[in-house]
A and B are shown apart, each in its own frame.
Chain A
């Protein structure tokens, strides 16, 4: 798999991106009543798309099927809640690095313990560690227990007392998230094209062969796991900033499962696929929610249908339609 997308597909994705960039301009005209709601919804989806990309690095690239990824998302959010002064704005230049550092540390620790296992053990162990994180915030008084905690004032983004952006403004925050979302995408693209990314991609296909070539797979997997966890932490930090609220369900394994569904629905290992997956998944949820109060059953049916009918995800479909420049990876023993 090379780093290039087929040109028509790249253009399509760029067009979709242009829609996102321009939405705040034409949104009020198209949806005068629902504009603010949709703006927030799109912000939330882009945050989840960052989460999905970070999980794709693990699942789709490194072959590490984690079912505890939301723990890092939640931890990122909780760090903001814990580090924010009660009635004052936190300084983003302090809290964001601290939050990411804490998440990176947690991810490295969990990764160190989990990467010793493989296959089904890895799935179960990450699930269990994820739940451990959930209970850490649910059962203890750390930050409001099972009720969660509020972030009263959004972090301030200032240089020398001058506010660069006001995160409280929904539109500004939308563009901040959009910028980070695009930035994270290119960050991962850079990562995947680097020597590190090539090794990790190869590990996902055939770990033993990579070892035979002279690389220590455990080390590369650990670094990939830590990077993925940290970016998940960034997305959780953004989610906490957006809603001004954190609660233990951010860490719950349901949330990990949803992120996994986004990755698979979109097409794992493709990076743009999980982004599409996040959008389709969340928009489907929106649609189902408006149809019935038992929308979760419909989500369940959708998930099962994806597994049975669309094993390579939307990206697989798109790459087929737009002429994948190369055949996809074959199944390895």
Chain B
């Protein structure tokens, strides 16, 4: 397999045609576990109000990349820049506070909390600190408003007081995103938001993601090619830890390297 490494350290290919400001950037980002290089020298740009999908076969290093981006893992080399500031070795909770909101591949809501309580907890991260012991959490108006706003946006307004565990899988995935929204993020990093969903649930989620794409820069890890092509403006393809292509969706779709390496077996329809 001839893989062409096109990730130049400075600028991604679409830089010339896109003048929206850069929100998040990685420079030569690398993570090695012992001898295994999970992410190799990845340099990517993520822009304001742009939906950027990262695709690649299982084990391509996408999830590791997300962990590096959000501080859940510390990289072995390279940098992560958020609004121009170096956040490379910041711990996950600080990264989240800076405004990089992240959802998880596996549903990670708090099952015994109601929808609202889940979002309210997330919204508490907007308080300067949650080391507040006296007043009940429900008495913080701004937190409540933010939680309700997030519930509304993720389409769970009518499920407000349902216990998370009693909801359908698709609704729990929505709530997962609602929680990210409630943290008041500046950029959304969504790790396989469509994983495990039925057709109807998927369509609903794609609609939600489209809506979010108009408000936030969206970084999307996804396997569902239909969804990716209907949502993303920019596409990055990773194989074996390496970014083999990154650019506007149309260009990537035409790329021979990508066809060979990835799209060839998984997405004949394209």
Q: Do chains A and B touch in the complex (CB under 8 A)?
A: yes
In the docked arrangement, what's the CA distance between A2 and B92, Å? 28
* In contact, A213 and B91 (Cβ under 8 angstroms): no
In the docked arrangement, what's the CA distance between A328 and B134, Å? 26
* In contact, B110 and A206 (Cβ under 8 angstroms): yes
Distance from B104 Cβ to chain A, minimum over Cβ atoms (Å): 7
The answer, yes or no, to whether A184 is at the interface (CB within 8 Å) is: no
* In contact, B136 and A191 (Cβ under 8 angstroms): no
Across-interface contacts of B135 in A (CB, < 8 A)? 194
Q: Mark B121-154, 1 if CB is under 8 A from A, else 0.
A: 1101101001111111110100100000000000
* In contact, A213 and B121 (Cβ under 8 angstroms): yes
Contact A195 B127, CB 8 Å, known A3-B136, A214-B93: yes
* In contact, A326 and B136 (Cβ under 8 angstroms): no
The answer, yes or no, to whether A254 is at the interface (CB within 8 Å) is: no
* In contact, A213 and B122 (Cβ under 8 angstroms): yes
In chain A, positions 199-216 with a C-beta closer than 8 Å to chain B are 199, 202, 205-206, 208-216
Distance from B94 Cβ to chain A, minimum over Cβ atoms (Å): 8
Distance from B243 Cβ to chain A, minimum over Cβ atoms (Å): 24
Q: Nearest residue in A to B143 (C-beta to C-beta)? A: A195
* In contact, A196 and B132 (Cβ under 8 angstroms): yes
In the docked arrangement, what's the CA distance between A197 and B121, Å? 10
The answer, yes or no, to whether B62 is at the interface (CB within 8 Å) is: no
The answer, yes or no, to whether B30 is at the interface (CB within 8 Å) is: no
* In contact, A216 and B137 (Cβ under 8 angstroms): no
Count of chain A residues near B, Cβ 8 A: 35
Q: Mark B82-117, 1 if CB is under 8 A from A, else 0.
A: 000000000111101100001010101011111001
The answer, yes or no, to whether B165 is at the interface (CB within 8 Å) is: yes
* In contact, B110 and A212 (Cβ under 8 angstroms): no
In the docked arrangement, what's the CA distance between A214 and B122, Å? 8
The answer, yes or no, to whether B166 is at the interface (CB within 8 Å) is: yes
Contact A214 B137, CB 8 Å, known A198-B120, A209-B108, A330-B111: no
* Partner of B124 from A195, A206, A216 at Cβ < 8 Å: A195
* Partner of B111 from A197, A205, A217, A219 at Cβ < 8 Å: A205
* In contact, B70 and A212 (Cβ under 8 angstroms): yes
* In contact, B92 and A198 (Cβ under 8 angstroms): no
* In contact, B137 and A326 (Cβ under 8 angstroms): no
In the docked arrangement, what's the CA distance between A292 and B161, Å? 52
Across-interface contacts of A191 in B (CB, < 8 A)? 133
Contact A209 B112, CB 8 Å, known A193-B137, A193-B138, A198-B124: no
The answer, yes or no, to whether B72 is at the interface (CB within 8 Å) is: yes
* In contact, B130 and A196 (Cβ under 8 angstroms): yes
* In contact, B134 and A194 (Cβ under 8 angstroms): yes
Across-interface contacts of B43 in A (CB, < 8 A)? none
Count of chain B residues near A, Cβ 8 A: 40
The answer, yes or no, to whether B179 is at the interface (CB within 8 Å) is: yes
The answer, yes or no, to whether B183 is at the interface (CB within 8 Å) is: yes
* Partner of B121 from A198, A216, A219 at Cβ < 8 Å: A198
In the docked arrangement, what's the CA distance between A216 and B114, Å? 23
The answer, yes or no, to whether A182 is at the interface (CB within 8 Å) is: no
The answer, yes or no, to whether A223 is at the interface (CB within 8 Å) is: yes
Distance from B164 Cβ to chain A, minimum over Cβ atoms (Å): 9
Across-interface contacts of B125 in A (CB, < 8 A)? 213-215
Q: Mark A293-333, 1 if CB is under 8 A from B, else 0.
A: 00000000000000000000000000000000011111011
* In contact, B110 and A202 (Cβ under 8 angstroms): yes
The answer, yes or no, to whether B81 is at the interface (CB within 8 Å) is: no
Across-interface contacts of B94 in A (CB, < 8 A)? 214
Distance from B190 Cβ to chain A, minimum over Cβ atoms (Å): 12
In chain A, positions 152-192 with a C-beta closer than 8 Å to chain B are 190-191
Contact A195 B97, CB 8 Å, known A2-B114, A205-B111, A213-B179: no
* In contact, B93 and A215 (Cβ under 8 angstroms): yes
Across-interface contacts of A142 in B (CB, < 8 A)? none
In the docked arrangement, what's the CA distance between A213 and B70, Å? 11
Which one of A193, A214, A328 has the greatest number of beta carbons of chain B within 10 Å?
Answer: A214
The answer, yes or no, to whether B163 is at the interface (CB within 8 Å) is: yes
In the docked arrangement, what's the CA distance between A220 and B131, Å? 8
* Partner of B93 from A3, A206, A216 at Cβ < 8 Å: A216
In the docked arrangement, what's the CA distance between A330 and B108, Å? 12
Q: Nearest residue in B to A332 (C-beta to C-beta)? A: B111
Distance from A226 Cβ to chain B, minimum over Cβ atoms (Å): 12
- A→B interface (CB under 8 Å): 1-3, 190-191, 193-199, 202, 205-206, 208-217, 219-220, 223, 326-330, 332-333
Given contacts A196-B131, A199-B124, A326-B114, 15 further A-B contacts (CB under 8 A): A194-B133, A194-B137, A195-B132, A195-B137, A198-B120, A199-B130, A211-B72, A211-B92, A212-B70, A213-B121, A214-B94, A215-B130, A219-B131, A220-B131, A329-B112
Q: Give me the 9 closest cross-chain CB pairs, A-B, nearest first.
A: A214-B125, A329-B112, A214-B96, A193-B136, A195-B130, A214-B97, A330-B111, A209-B108, A195-B132
Listed A/B pairs (7) with beta-carbon separation below 8 Å? A202-B113, A211-B93, A213-B122, A215-B125, A216-B93, A217-B93, A220-B131
